[in-house]
Amino acid sequence: MSQLDPKGGYTGKILRVDLSRRKYRIEETPRDLMIRFLGGRGFIAKILLDETAPHIDPLSPDNKVIFATGPLTGLPVAGSGKCVVGCKSPESGGYCDGNFGGYFGPMLKYAGFDAIVIEGRSERPVYIYVEDGQCEIVNADDLWGSTTSVCETTLKERHGRECAVACIGPAGENLVKYANVIHDYGRAGGRPGVGAVLGSKKLKAIVVRGTGEIPVHDLDSLIVMLRDVVRKLRDSQFYDTWTRQGTMVTILWSNENSCLPVRNFREAVFENAHKISGEVMEKFLKYRTRGCFACPTPCGNLCRFGKHVVELDYEQVAMLGANLGIDDMLHVAYMVKLSDEYGMDTISLGNVLGLAMELYERGLITSEDTGGVELRFGNAEAATQMIEMIVHRKGIGSILAEGVAKLVEKYPEARKFAMQCKNVEISAYNCHIAPGMALAYATSPIGAHHKDAWFISIELKNPDMSIEEKVQKLIWMQNIRGGLFECIGTCRLQWVEFGLDLDYYIRALRAATGLEITLSDLMTIAERVYNVIRCYWIRELGHWKREYDYPPQRWFEEPLTSGPRKGARIDRETYEKMLQLYYKYRGWTEDGVPRKETLRKLGLEDIIEALRASDIELPD
């Protein structure tokens, strides 16, 4: 990439808010961050490593929460409504982030900022109000305890309907370890506890309103490219199904391919999948799907269930439906609604409830422990009661609020059935038949999440792929999804689902910034980001062990007992070989530690020094 300064795409300013001192300041966005880390996840990872002390308590004032946009956020580019939010996770103790759409990211840039860095802790509940280069920290006593929709509506009534609100619900306030941030009544981000970190800072919401313009190098080209892309996407054969079902098209696909999570991932085919499918959901659609800012392929399934309106996605219905043995769409939708209102991640919630149900059925948790709640698979009422107990930390709900790792600590036998990597709950793909997807979960930089590599579809379509090819392809995919898309500020679904050419994003980046960026530059940035995050984990834990990159035991040891793939499980030896290759291709040691040589090639000498300052000497 040419070393010139970007001529557009960035506002050039970062807002820093110190809640302890109730002060804010505005800084220039460092050129190094823009050129070498691009935006979004790249900004967050580098800022956390540079600016937070090692081993801090994630729920202390020392943690920082960063909302970061990318150079394409808010511009006329397909799906450019995305913003990444991250911090040190209270669930995993390592790096975490989440990517949410809607309007918050674009509005933040119109207000004049590429990112907000939130530091310290307020004594009383507050919210941050940002408007066109100004910032105010406002008392939020009246909002504390409110659900996310009440909070968002109240703040919009106060500041105008056009402002964008990102807030936490009671789950974040009560430090539920998988509380997330909710925006636009149903956009959710920050699975491994960003909501809890905001709760610990007594920060209820961030409201942004902006009327400014983002500098752009070549706006005309961006507009011409967007017109062309919109036409292509709308002409796609898949467009009609997608805008009726969005990610819900995946329920039946996963069931047919034996990768749906069923009853705590014990099985992979749900006998009643047809009752919670995209087709069933369509009957409840309130409108056609709604979209984020500048989205040509809207996927938000806004459904009406009785008096509730709720947005449904594959992950939520798989985790709170099939994974709990629940086949009543109305009830699943109600649980999703509760999660959005309370500000809690539906994936982790479904995973934690699944484990608790399994422990109950095995007699390890008793009805005395649950306060009489019959926590069995298929019991939707019990699951709902448990959600209330988790959010309000009542009885055993307080343990469940800590995530599956705490359940394992309390009930050691649960280790065999705990579906997590790095203490973050696995999302909705069962991997008995898919070792490559298991590797994707296990090496995801934020703990188990499908977002860095939805490898399962490639793996299933190419059953004869060699393991070398698989691992290379997986790393490529992580770099594109977790590197490129998490940094540039656009949605990845137009690429994933519609096959939109990657070249479009490169041309858009050139037009936005004026930098002569190539795909190879972007892959280097992605490698850089992956290495910085791995070094952050190592610094925080003080060491690294190969086992931290293993998937759950169940996939190795308990073959599927039903369905067309009965008997399938992951072969441990194959997995070990894949992991070894993964480390080799990443330039890491046999134990998963980045080598100095790898970091030097990426221009990350400062990270070698940073770890040395924490008494960690990386290998040559």
H helices of 343-479, where? 346-361, 380-391, 397-400, 404-410, 435-443, 456-461, 467-478
**Binding residue (CB under 6 A) for ligand PTT from 110, 314, 360, 505:** 314
CA nearest to 183, candidates 247, 299, 98: 98
Closer of 129 and 185 to ligand PTT (Cβ) = 185
**Binding residue (CB under 6 A) for ligand PTT from 16, 46, 159, 191:** 191
The H-or-E segment that residue 166 falls in is strand 164-167
Q: Single out the segment in contact with ligand PTT by CB under 6 A; choices: 202-210, 258-266, 314-322, 365-373.
A: 314-322
Residue 190 contact, options ligand PTT, ligand SF4, none, Cβ 5-8 Å cut-off depending on partner type:
ligand PTT
Which positions from 78 through 117 interact with ligand PTT, judged by CB under 6 A?
82, 98-102
**Binding residue (CB under 6 A) for ligand SF4 from 300, 321, 325, 350:** 300
Which positions from 32 through 91 interact with ligand SF4, judged by CB under 6 A?
79, 81
Residue 73's Cα: distance from chain center in Å?
Answer: 17
Cβ-based neighbours of 326, under 8 Å, separated by 6 or more: 320, 332, 378, 379, 380, 383
Beta partners for 303? 285, 310
In this structure, what token pair is assigned to residue 342?
């309370």
* Spatial separation of the C-alpha atoms in residues 105 and 101, rounded to whole Å: 7
Which positions from 524 through 583 interact with ligand SF4, judged by CB under 6 A?
none
C-beta of 381: minimal distance to ligand SF4 in Å?
32
CA of 47: how far to CAs of 44, 88, 99, in Å?
A: 5, 11, 17
**Binding residue (CB under 6 A) for ligand PTT from 89, 147, 200, 316:** 316
C-beta of 78: minimal distance to ligand SF4 in Å?
8
**Binding residue (CB under 6 A) for ligand SF4 from 72, 140, 295, 380:** 295
C-beta of 169: minimal distance to ligand SF4 in Å?
21
User: What burial letters (b/e) apply to 68-79, b meaning 16+ CB within 10 Å?
Assistant: bbbbbbbbbbbb
Residue 180 contact, options ligand PTT, ligand SF4, none, Cβ 5-8 Å cut-off depending on partner type:
ligand PTT
- Work out whether 298 is an interface residue with ligand SF4 (CB under 6 A): yes
Residue 64 contact, options ligand PTT, ligand SF4, none, Cβ 5-8 Å cut-off depending on partner type:
none
Closer of 42 and 291 to ligand SF4 (Cβ) = 291
- Work out whether 299 is an interface residue with ligand SF4 (CB under 6 A): yes
CA of 410: how far to CAs of 399, 405, 414, in Å?
A: 8, 9, 9
- Work out whether 491 is an interface residue with ligand PTT (CB under 6 A): yes
Binding mask 95-134 for ligand SF4 (x = CB under 6 A): ------x---------------------------------
Closer of 298 and 559 to ligand SF4 (Cβ) = 298
Place of tokens 């994630």: 58
Beta partners for 139? 126
In this structure, what token pair is assigned to residue 493?
């679904």
**Binding residue (CB under 6 A) for ligand PTT from 209, 492, 528, 554:** 492
Binding mask 508-547 for ligand PTT (x = CB under 6 A): ----------------------------------------
CA of 85: how far to CAs of 49, 156, 295, in Å?
A: 15, 21, 20
Which residue minimizes CB distance to ligand PTT? 98
Task: Kindly report the backbone phi and psi dihedral angles of residue 199, in degrees, each rounded to the nearest multiple of 5, phi listed first.
Answer: -60, -40
Place of tokens 């799906």: 79
Which positions from 349 through 408 interact with ligand PTT, judged by CB under 6 A?
none
Please name the amino acid found at residue 545. Answer: K
**Binding residue (CB under 6 A) for ligand PTT from 64, 187, 422, 539:** 187
CA nearest to 453, candidates 464, 461, 444: 444
C-beta of 45: minimal distance to ligand PTT in Å?
15
* Spatial separation of the C-alpha atoms in residues 464 and 470, rounded to whole Å: 10
Closer of 102 and 592 to ligand PTT (Cβ) = 102
Cβ-based neighbours of 381, under 8 Å, separated by 6 or more: none
Residue 295 contact, options ligand PTT, ligand SF4, none, Cβ 5-8 Å cut-off depending on partner type:
ligand SF4
Which positions from 214 through 273 interact with ligand PTT, judged by CB under 6 A?
247
Cβ-based neighbours of 16, under 8 Å, separated by 6 or more: 24, 25, 26, 27, 116, 117, 119
Closer of 89 and 490 to ligand SF4 (Cβ) = 490
Q: Is 98 exposed, middle or buried (0-12, 13-18, 19+ CB in 10 A)?
A: buried
Q: Does residue 60 contact residue 507 with C-beta atoms inside 8 Å?
A: no
Which residues are at the interface with ligand SF4 (CB under 6 A)? 79, 81, 101, 291-292, 295, 297-300, 491, 493
Which residues are at the interface with ligand PTT (CB under 6 A)? 82, 98-102, 180, 186-191, 247, 311, 313-316, 339-340, 344-347, 451, 485-486, 491-493
